[in-house]
Structure 1
């Protein structure tokens, strides 16, 4: 009886052979890369480089959440089947959730000054991906849903965007608190009490000592 490791290696080999023989260089493969390139070009044109580290942290938090979610939804519950993958990985990277959605959330964060504005931008981006791009991918044959709906996908993506921004604000708050405490330590740490000046000897004591 094959071990779990041997079974996983066999499945990985079969998955790779399928990717090479039917997915690589197909129309859906080129279409996926084309959409991905367009989104990244737009992001590079619009991104505020002065806030790049903050925005990349936002995108990374969102992407991590999507990786965990995709592993659970696809591997454990089988809600979707990706038939064309840019690279032979499962869950498939560079499809929609793990890359395209985080880019939209980064732009939403960049142009938002409040939770309300961010929620509107995140909802609009999630709606475009869930109700426009996902059906288009399904029509082309890039993926197929199983016991899942585009509305569920919208809720899933929108929730990820809210959680990612919440975590980002938490990290920034902790960072600011640490910087404030460090500043206080630098200010008050340099204030050393003045050395006590030795008292002058009593005149009589001085006279006695000189005698």
Structure 2
């Protein structure tokens, strides 16, 4: 007896069933809860703060840094969710598997402000280490406590070097592009 692999149609049908379950869960368990309002707040308010603080003369490189970092963060988050390293019981929008408000709100804004205020590598790395400590050991446990973020096959300490490395990589990339453009 041979096991039959699922067909694309089987997977598509299962995906549709999961979508329907997620939508029902989101409508009954997520929408307009305290966590939902908090996620809305963490998505919108940091951007208002950022707009007031951003150096408008350096807007292009800062936005390039933020956009590239946003793409990287979204990719890493999708991978983590997909391979069950973590999950998000509360979401602002049900159709996205990631925690959009944190990925595209507070984390990106905080990184862009560090990029703006600490242009030199040494201070940038020090500032990112401090921010990584805060996000890893205060912010992440707080979101777990609120039920927004659920660790599955992940530990807080794993996030620490990733916060630093992703920001350093994107800074290096943007700084390299800016130098090439000026030549």
- Compute the TM-score of the two structures, normalised by the length of structure 2: 0.88
* 1:126 is aligned to 2:119: no
Q: Which residue is 1:68 aligned to?
A: 75
Q: Which residue of 1 aligns with 2:168?
A: 162
**Residue 27 (1) aligns with residue 34 (2):** yes
Q: Deviations over 1:162-201 (max 9, x none)?
A: 1111111121122122xxxxxxxxxxxxxxxxxxxxxxxx
By relative contact order (CA 8 Å, sep 6+), the higher-ranking structure is 2
Greater C-alpha radius of gyration: 1
Single out whichever of 6-15 and 114-123 deviates more from structure 2.
Answer: 6-15
Task: After superposition, give the CA deviation of every residue in 1:75-97 in whole Å (9 maximum; x if it has no partner).
Answer: 02x11110000111112311x23
For the residue of structure 1 that corresponds to 2:150, the secondary structure is strand
| Structure 1: gaps of 5 or more residues | 178-211
Q: What are the within-5 Å matches in structure 2 for residues 56-205 of structure 1?
A: 56-76=63-83, 78-88=84-94, 89-94=96-101, 96-177=102-183
Structure 2: runs of 5+ lacking an equivalent: 1-5
Paired residue total:
175
Partner SS, residue 10 of structure 1 = helix
Deviation at 1:111, TM superposition (A): 1.0
RMSD: 1.6
